[in-house]
Amino acid sequence: MSNAEALLGVALPCIAFFLLHSLLVAGWFKSMALRALGPRVMSGWYRLLYTVVSIASLTVALWFITRIPDHHIYSFPRWIGWPMHALRLGGLLFGYISYRQLRSDEFTGTAQALRFLKGQEPGGDMEGLTGDKLIRDGGYALVRNPLYLAGIIIFIFQPEVTRTWLTVSVLSVGYFVWGALIEEKRMLRRYGEEYRDYMKEVPLLVPRPSDLTRWLRSIRG
């Protein structure tokens, strides 16, 4: 397999997954699903179906990617590699802490499905999400998209670079940045002026050094 064929074999599953994910979160697609399913079924099941489809499509994409022959490109020396591993671990912990600020049962859609099965009204918006308050503390006081930042850190600071990892990393980081910009539009529609004020106070993806120092002190304290 040529280098170009290998790159294409890795890139296509990634792009297919990103396109499917973008389709499922697009406002026009959710509006179409709302008309087809009705408000109660939509708010009860859409989020869970979205989670299941995302996991399944990611699994398929990874299966295809792992079938492509890979080769080593570069290894950072240990004195750089160990700090990079530490940064990746820090990114993982930061993502976990930020995720804990969300309602994980609603984020995955299990809470909405259970309310539906019990005969209750799922409530909330069209996806059954009931949290109306804009989260501005914890990781969300550092950057507006902490989960995307966590993913970027994990991908960028890999000390062992292979052809497959580099390809996936470039595409994923680009998608995280693009996704963060798209998310901004959705949040502006939902929270309006409150989110505009939040945008002025907190960066999109790159934390300010002073804010990062303050956040680390709050974690240790």
Question: Computed over its alpha carbons, how large is the radius of gyration of the chain?
Answer: 20
φ and ψ at residue 17, rounded to 5 degrees: -65, -45
Asked if residue 68 lies in contact with residue 3, where contact means CB atoms within 8 angstroms, the answer is no
DSSP 202: S
Can you read off the two tokens belonging to residue 203?
């960066």
How would residue 118 be classed by pLDDT, with cut points 50, 70 and 90? confident
Query: Considering its fold, how many domains does the chain have in total?
Result: 1
Compare 215 and 25 and report the one with higher pLDDT.
25
Q: What is the mean pLDDT of residues 84-106?
A: 90
How would residue 133 be classed by pLDDT, with cut points 50, 70 and 90? confident
Max Cα–Cα distance, the chain, nearest Å: 59
What is the model's pLDDT at position 172?
95
Does the pLDDT at position 158 exceed 80? yes
Condensed to tens digits (0 to 9), the pLDDT of residues 41-89 reads 899 899 999 999 999 999 999 999 999 999 888 889 989 999 999 999 9
Domain span at 21: 3-220
Does the pLDDT at position 221 exceed 90? no
Q: Is 192 helix (H, G, I), strand (E, B) or coil?
A: coil
Asked if residue 145 lies in contact with residue 99, where contact means CB atoms within 8 angstroms, the answer is no
What is the model's pLDDT at position 4?
80
How would residue 127 be classed by pLDDT, with cut points 50, 70 and 90? confident
Question: Which of 163, 154, 139 lies closest to 69, judged by CA?
Answer: 163
Does the pLDDT at position 119 exceed 70? yes
Does the pLDDT at position 220 exceed 70? no
Compare 218 and 134 and report the one with higher pLDDT.
134
Q: What is the mean pLDDT of residues 136-152?
A: 91
Does the pLDDT at position 102 exceed 80? yes
